[in-house]
Amino acid sequence: MSLIVTCICGARLRAKPEAAGRRIKCPKCGQRIEVPAPAAPAKRDDAGPLDLLQQLTDGEGMSPEAPPAVTPARPIETVAYERDAAMARAALRGGSAKHDAISRPRRSFWGDLLFAFAYPVASTENGVNLAIITAISLAAPLCLQAGSVCCLLAFGALFVYGWKAAVFMNVVTDTAAGSDDLPGIKMEQGWFEDVIVPAFTYTATFLVSLSPAIVYGVVASSGLVNYNAIVHAVWAGFGAFMWPMVMLLFSMGVWRMIFRPDLVLVTLAQTILPYLAIWAALLAAVAIQILPALSGMLLRLGLSVPTYTASAIGFGYGIVTDVVGTYLMLVSMRLIGLYYLHFKQRFVFKLE
């Protein structure tokens, strides 16, 4: 029999019996609530066999089964953006979640934008998770360098890539739900669902965003149209501009919205300023990550690069850029989630 729980926003949810004691996310407001254990059936120790038989003969005990009692779910004490538990309890007693941070964050978007740069180290738990993420991220280049000796180590680099992809997308979804916590290692559904699927999904966001430029390049190379470098660059720039929105759609599991570009473009037009801020942060993160490869390519082509850049190219510089790039990407994923959390009322489609 399904368990019925009530969120603090008033939504009634059904959960499977095996979900008792676990936390589920409310599809209406995004708040994580705990499913209570089902109440044990009452036992009548004072009724003997003859009494029960007499009740059945008289027609007692034959009434239809009463509907299951609705047990209010116990909300999590830490409410997103609302560290004052007293206010959260007051909103619960009042029967309204209008003061809940899920529907109305306490900080403005621009205040949250500045806070996002401190988000990876905003708490002790976040700092520990950041250290773990950084340490695992640094294992990827080591595995790639040793991959020529052992194929298993090369596979380890792919595993790190998939795990980082899962962390990045979890930052988007958790922030969109109102969480201030940096997600750590999650292997709840197995390595395929928690590593392989996120790796392909994360890669798909780049392919989908750059698909206009890719299609143009293929068509031009086939001779159907004359190739124009400026047109190709414009399509590539448009894809880079659309990538934060594509990442949001894929992270929230509504990737089918890419087939409704009209709705997506209207949403962007209504939220253009915060979207530009997010895009600028993402551009900085990607630029720092590709700088070593770009500088090395320029040197191989015989082009001059700044002296400090040329001397810095190497394994140590790669480690520094990987650490900084991972930090900036976490900040950027945070901004994408904040973009939806603060401006979802302006979206012309629903992601939840």
* Mean pLDDT of the region 147-156: 58
- Which of 37-46, 80-89, 246-255 shows the highest mean pLDDT? 246-255
Tell me what pLDDT residue 117 has: 87
DSSP state of 305: -
Tens digit of pLDDT for each residue in 234-266?
Answer: 999 999 899 999 999 999 989 999 999 999 999
> DSSP state, 195?
I
Instruction: Compute the Cα dihedral for 222, 225, 228, 232 and give only its sign.
Output: negative
Identify the band that residue 307 occupies on the pLDDT scale cut at 50, 70 and 90. very low
Supply the pLDDT for residue 99.
Answer: 34
Note the pLDDT tens digit of each residue in 93-106. Answer: 444 433 343 445 66
Strands laid side by side in the 74-75 sheet: 23-25, 32-34, 74-75
- The pLDDT-based confidence of 204 (bands split at 50, 70, 90) is very high
The answer, yes or no, to whether residue 114 has pLDDT greater than 50, is yes
Query: Per-residue confidence at 77, pLDDT binned at 50, 70, 90?
Result: very low
- For the chain, what percent of residues have pLDDT higher than 90? 24
Higher pLDDT, 230 or 74: 230
Which tens digits make up the pLDDT trace of 267-302?
A: 999 999 889 988 887 777 666 666 655 555 555 555
Q: Which residue has the higher pLDDT, 107 or 76?
A: 107
**Does the predicted TM-score (pTM) go above 0.75?**
no
Q: What phi and psi values does residue 305 have, to the nearest 5 degrees?
A: -130, 160
- Which pLDDT does position 268 carry in this prediction? 93
Buried b (16+ CB within 10 A) or exposed e, 226-259: eeeeeeeeebbeebbbbbbbbbbbbbbeeeebbe
